[in-house]
Amino acid sequence: MVNEHSLTVSLEEFGLSKYEAQAYVALISKGTISAGELAYYSEIPRTKIYPTLLKLENKKLVIISKSKPIMCTAVAPEDAFDGIIHEQINKVNAMNTLVSNLKKASEESRKTRGSEEKRYFHISANNVLTQLQTMIEGSKSSLKIMTDQWGFGLLGECKNQLVSVVRRNLDVKLLVGSGHICSEIYRKIPDGVEIRSSEITQNCFIFDDTELLLINNENGKGAIFSSTDILGANQEKIFSQVWKNAIKTKALADMTKVEAQEIYKIIKTVNETGLPHMLNSVMVSKKFTGADMFKLLEKNGISLKTKSIDDIIEIIDAVMQITCSGHANFEANTKNITVESKLNSGHSLPWVSVLDGCLQKQGYKTRTVYQNNSGKGEKVHIKISKN
């Protein structure tokens, strides 16, 4: 059975007053009745029934007889409201046209000012992890990731998604802070993800070079952008630049966190201050020795004097893998150390200098022979003997 109260409320939305709606619904239900009966069935005060009927008649919703007593009949709904419905449709169409014209005017105005509207989507802190997992899983070709401590913690919760993209042979590159090398979360990252280390201060995830997810490390909130926007293009350039200069970590994967941190610090110290230190030593003493590089490391809190020769060779071997795609080997029988680099132009020499300084500090006499194989890299042979 139709609820008369709900019909009355709905009619009010069509522009009828409460009494007009009550009267019309009563007439639809009862058919042709007198004004007095209508007042009874519609629960409208008798003093209000006649003014209400006249208003309904003006709106072409009822027909009132000229006889006495006055009889009234409701106009059929399909006839009564057809005009109103078309009027409302016309109003909606007019509003849509107005909005379209306003939008067009706004866009033209932005173009004349040389600006363009871009949209991005906010993500609450509670939903960031789920969104990150979804976007990793949905990647088609590549992932480029920069994470600080906050972002790296979130990434540790995405192991299954990372395994999935690695199995699909996606290109996955990850930049992490030096403090995370060989950490518990670091070891959760599946093989196939190429990891390098640098000093990272933001959380940026670039998916398929088309979408960008940034995460605020202060409140955990995120935002998604199109990476074709200026912001996205800049972030990709930043990533590429940092990636190019970052330290590879594959050679450190099987080490303890302490060992890995030590090697990272050695590389960073030599890369950033080694060359100026070497030049200064040459200017002051007209020569440069391995002991000078050894002193540089000690000055920066890196002590190698308690290391065995095998430990030092292992450190230099890892350093050569990271910096020169090379190796360091010790032949115990011949007392010969070979430091090999796949890069030319003296890339191995700072590390040979570190090794030479360590050997001298341990009481070894060294003789060094440099061999450059044009286009194929370089080798340095160090012959050692006890003083």
- Of 299, 305, 274, the closest CA to residue 288 belongs to 274
d(CA 128, CA 122): 10
Q: What is the mean pLDDT of residues 250-270?
A: 85
Same domain assignment for residues 213 and 259:
no
Q: How confident is the model at residue 172 (pLDDT cuts 50, 70, 90)?
A: very high
> Which amino acid is located at 77 in the chain?
P
Query: How many residues make up the chain in this entry?
Result: 387
Residue predicted with more confidence, 171 or 335: 171
Instruction: Beginning with the edge strand found earlier in the chain, give each strand of the sheet holding 327-331 in spatial order.
Output: 327-331, 336-341, 377-386, 364-373
Assigned domain for 21 exists: yes
Q: Is the confidence at residue 148, as pLDDT, over 80?
A: yes
Q: Is the confidence at residue 340, as pLDDT, over 90?
A: no
Q: What is the mean pLDDT of residues 234-247?
A: 87
Q: How confident is the model at residue 215 (pLDDT cuts 50, 70, 90)?
A: very high
Element (H, E) at 159: helix 159-167
Highest-confidence range of 133-147, 300-314, 354-368, by mean pLDDT?
133-147
* Window from 123-137, 283-297, 312-326 with minimum mean pLDDT: 283-297
Q: Which residues pair with 142 in a beta bridge?
A: 171
Same domain assignment for residues 257 and 348:
yes
Tell me the CATH number at 284: 3.30.1380
* Window from 106-120, 183-197, 328-342, 352-366 with minimum mean pLDDT: 106-120
Tell me the CATH number at 151: 3.30.870.10
> Which amino acid is located at 147 in the chain?
T
Tell me the CATH number at 9: 1.10.10.10
Assigned domain for 104 exists: no
Select from 45, 80, 115 the last residue of a domain.
80
> Which amino acid is located at 158 in the chain?
C
Structural domain of 294: 252-386
Q: Is the confidence at residue 284, as pLDDT, over 70?
A: no
Q: Is the confidence at residue 269, as pLDDT, over 90?
A: no
Q: Is the confidence at residue 24, as pLDDT, over 70?
A: yes
Same domain assignment for residues 235 and 299:
no
Note the pLDDT of residue 288.
46
d(CA 25, CA 42): 8
Residue predicted with more confidence, 114 or 342: 342
Same domain assignment for residues 149 and 241:
yes
Same domain assignment for residues 38 and 56:
yes
Distance (Å) of CA 99 to CA 91, 93, 102, 104:
12, 10, 5, 9
